[in-house]
A and B are shown apart, each in its own frame.
Chain A
């Protein structure tokens, strides 16, 4: 595999459960060493898509390669080079940290098991929990253990499905530092998340909703492509304003942001016109750049209507 060849290169990947099309013809290309963020509302098909990439689910349609191997016929060749972290903690809670890591490394046929475990434990700071049952670890440490387990065989691709759900900010930051370090070593990562701050730490993003891919690109590209105008309103008694603003021409989102309101819409001219009467004292209206969350909510609204 040459440097330039994408690690993930799939087109038209589709999964149907019963009558429901959960993933509907999604294309994705992820380059080597890239941290690729995967966003979308709950039930949008993120987990299903990730599971198809690593052979946990068989695609109903579509084709492509993962690490140069065919996703439909060569799942067994993909597996040894992928580290997968599922949404739910899926190591053995009734085994110790060391036993879990040992078992996983035996599954992957890691050559120097003791060495690999020692290195991974040291890297993830799991030393003092070595002989503790995995089930007794706190959420943040469980997640670190899960990351340790999916790295122990030195995979080329990490598929992380909402790895930081329910983890405190400090642990999340440590986790992301680790992911960036790995990316620096040439490891590719596809990470699904609901956190906007995490999305902004990715090199590139894909946004999917209800099985459809709605946007891809860097944060700036996605924000620019949506062409969303956003205004900030500040002043007293803002809560009374919310209902009055909603329903005005051009107004698509009204969100309370601390002591201000963010009002956004894709039709910038209509929005500016509707907000004009609110620009007087004691209120103040200023144009601000749209943030990622507003863009995503806008994308999601478009998908449902």
Chain B
């Protein structure tokens, strides 16, 4: 049909302005568009920390010598442990761990100092509540360091040979891009992708399903308006919404979380376009399948869940089994996160991120193509 190629800018503009009118009236959706980024910023930015410090620790010191105090002090200085309780019986330690009042129990045996001075390598016991491995793992590695260096200051004179020997190699670590390992530096730029995925897929899938559910689609189809005019007219307002959300997050990253912005912001906004459009394509595809708005929301969550879990936003991508990485690689968010983090934290330029752009572009073509193909001009 030749008329498929006709495109009326006037009708397109009319659809856009209609969408904005409805968006303005729909307080809940409007609230969602602003509320979700804010809520996620607060939750992920302030509440979630993958490197927890100052974990509550109880100490059962049966020795009370200078060396046992050294041990406790070294742990405290590592910042991972906070001695919240001093106990005198093992039973008490069990009770506290069982109730979850404390994360660790440090038990220093009798004659610890004496044995140490004799060079008998006394045993120190650190019991951990390891139900959540991520909460304890960093602390556990910190205590090794603490235990080897804790006593150097007091091992003087004849005890000097007992000092911890230097290892065979001089290992130097250099944590680049985020030397202080601040979780927010990684999370907040990533949030941009998560927020865009979450809100844009839901909102577009609702925008078209709502027309069908309320019967207004019938009235729209009867007019001479073309599918491309309707689809683009519905997409454009949400592209603008997507950019507003991005702006909000960039602002928060700068002002609230002081995330260093190494790369170019204009580049970031430019390359976000295909990502935003790809998500809108998913929303449109869902809207052509869903029978009602509830189904549209359910489908959006079906897409959102793997996106947030397998993209490398919450958990390290490299740590996932290969099959999960395959699924993750099929999602646009995975690639977008690399783009965002690359630009914001590493100062990547256009050619550095190019390898991550083509999967997003491919996804965009597929999702939008499927959506447009499935969008019907009739009620059949």
Verify A90–B215 contact, CB threshold 8 A: yes
When distances are taken between beta carbons in the complex, the residues of chain B under 8 Å from A93 are 214
Q: Is A109 at the interface (CB under 8 A from chain B)? A: yes
Q: How large is the interface on A (under 10, 10 to 19, 20 to 34, 35 or more residues)?
A: 20 to 34
Q: Is B169 at the interface (CB under 8 A from chain A)? A: no
A93 to B190, CA, bound (A): 38
When distances are taken between beta carbons in the complex, the residues of chain B under 8 Å from A58 are 378, 380
Verify A109–B10 contact, CB threshold 8 A: yes
Q: Is B25 at the interface (CB under 8 A from chain A)? A: yes
Given known contacts A56-B379, A107-B14, A109-B10, A90 and B219 CB-to-CB distance under 8 angstroms: yes
Given known contacts A80-B224, A90-B215, A91-B216, A51 and B10 CB-to-CB distance under 8 angstroms: no
Verify A86–B21 contact, CB threshold 8 A: no
Chain B 198-225 interface mask (CB, 8 Å, partner A; 1/0):
0000000000000000111111111111
Verify B218–A56 contact, CB threshold 8 A: yes
A97 to B216, CA, bound (A): 15
State the Cβ distance, A23 to closest chain B Cβ, in Å.
Answer: 13
Specify which of B3, B10, B221, B222 is in contact with A106 (CB 8 Å cutoff).
B10
Q: Is B138 at the interface (CB under 8 A from chain A)? A: no
Verify B216–A108 contact, CB threshold 8 A: no
When distances are taken between beta carbons in the complex, the residues of chain A under 8 Å from B1 are 76
Verify A76–B224 contact, CB threshold 8 A: yes
Chain B 16-38 interface mask (CB, 8 Å, partner A; 1/0):
00100110011000000000000
Specify which of A82, A92, A109, A149 is in contact with B11 (CB 8 Å cutoff).
A109
Q: Is B77 at the interface (CB under 8 A from chain A)? A: no
A contact patch SS: loop
State the Cβ distance, B207 to closest chain A Cβ, in Å.
Answer: 12
Q: Is B137 at the interface (CB under 8 A from chain A)? A: no
Q: Is A89 at the interface (CB under 8 A from chain B)? A: yes
A100 to B21, CA, bound (A): 11
Q: Is A94 at the interface (CB under 8 A from chain B)? A: yes
Specify which of B8, B26, B217, B219 is in contact with A94 (CB 8 Å cutoff).
B26
When distances are taken between beta carbons in the complex, the residues of chain B under 8 Å from A55 are 222, 378
Verify A99–B11 contact, CB threshold 8 A: no
When distances are taken between beta carbons in the complex, the residues of chain B under 8 Å from A180 are none
Report the nearest A residue to B226, measured CB to CB. Answer: A76
Given known contacts A57-B378, A94-B22, A95-B22, A104 and B223 CB-to-CB distance under 8 angstroms: yes
Q: Is A103 at the interface (CB under 8 A from chain B)? A: yes
State the Cβ distance, B82 to closest chain A Cβ, in Å.
Answer: 54
A91 to B223, CA, bound (A): 12
When distances are taken between beta carbons in the complex, the residues of chain B under 8 Å from A89 are 215
Report the nearest A residue to B223, measured CB to CB. Answer: A107
Given known contacts A57-B379, A106-B10, A91 and B219 CB-to-CB distance under 8 angstroms: yes
Extra inter-chain contacts (16) besides given A58-B378, A84-B219, CB under 8 Å:
A56-B222, A57-B380, A89-B215, A90-B217, A91-B216, A92-B216, A95-B18, A95-B21, A104-B223, A106-B14, A107-B14, A107-B220, A109-B8, A109-B10, A109-B11, A149-B219
Between-chain CB contacts (< 8 Å), 19 pairs: A56-B221, A58-B378, A86-B215, A86-B219, A88-B215, A88-B218, A89-B215, A90-B216, A90-B218, A91-B216, A92-B22, A94-B26, A95-B18, A95-B22, A99-B18, A103-B18, A106-B13, A108-B224, A109-B10
